[in-house]
Amino acid sequence: MKTKFLAAVAAAILSLGPASADAKDWTHVKVGIEGAFPPWNMIDSSGKLAGFDVDLINDLCTRAKVECELTAGEWTGMIPSLNAGKFDLIMTLGINEKRKQVVDFTVPYASGVATFLLLKDGPVAELPMAGERLNLNDKDKANPVMAKIGEALKGKTVGVVQSTSQEQLINAYYGSDVTVRAYKNSGERDLDLKAGRIDAGFDSGVYATSVLAKPGNDDLMMSGPLVKGAMLATEVALGMRKGETDLKAKFDDAIKAAAKDGVIKSLSEKWSKLDLTPNFETN
């Protein structure tokens, strides 16, 4: 009788299908978002999350037919919180090889660049190729330009946000010649730049454009090339835990549909004046 009972239990389990133990019904998704990186995301005057990321994730969640719960948190804790189960997705996560080791990504929902912020009439002269695009993977063109930038920054202090690909790049290219100072967020770094406590900042070009458009920042300027490539995570995606293939498929489809419908273009231009629509043929 015991053998028959166990056989019946085994048959019942098998009838549920091999993936039933791991299957998830993605009707509710917890989304981590920094809330301190305008125009991507911010806390508005009413205390609510706002920005390009917020408008876009609302659209993507509707397309994916899931209810999304957005929670703000410190940037440096995003990936640990994701892997601990506090979040299911992270917004504004740039794709690079180092992060691919610990998380999975959707297809990119935005394609950006990085650049330098300087204080006008500050200790760093204007950098070469100001406002021009430069792919660091084109080494024959990029290396001489980055070397000239290194000469201008030698002995200076450069501010970056910690745990970002911008921090990785400054350390990789100039770490032995400059002092790299890491901050919890871009706003704290900008205060030190304006006060003369650091000599330059390096950040998202979209963020820099937003900062310069705000009153009271007339003393700041963007300088140097608009760079991408190398370790820079300028292709921005949603991050998720390893192996969440169903969740990835839902949001991959939603992102591609939003790009095709022109929603990413209209929302990114609304918040940054730039069209950040990714080119899926090259991603």
Residue 66 has pLDDT above 80, yes or no: yes
CATH number at residue 177: 3.40.190.10
Claim to verify: residue 204 and residue 239 sit in the same structural domain: no
pLDDT tens, residue by residue, 72-91:
999 999 999 999 999 999 99
pLDDT tens, residue by residue, 171-188:
999 999 999 999 999 999
Q: What is the mean pLDDT of the chain?
A: 90
pLDDT for position 273? 82
pLDDT tens, residue by residue, 230-269:
999 889 999 999 999 999 999 999 999 999 999 999 999 9
Give the range of the structural domain holding residue 88, as residue numbers without chain letter. 29-111+235-272
Q: Is residue 94 part of a domain?
A: yes
pLDDT tens, residue by residue, 1-48:
434 434 444 444 444 444 333 457 799 999 999 999 999 999 999 999
Q: What's the whole-model pTM score?
A: 0.72
Claim to verify: residue 125 and residue 102 sit in the same structural domain: no
Claim to verify: residue 260 and residue 121 sit in the same structural domain: no
pLDDT for position 23? 53
pLDDT for position 10? 43
Claim to verify: residue 246 and residue 223 sit in the same structural domain: no
Q: How many domains does the chain have?
A: 2
Structure tokens that stand for 203 in this block: 């950040």
Claim to verify: residue 162 and residue 100 sit in the same structural domain: no
pLDDT for position 25? 79
Q: Is residue 13 part of a domain?
A: no
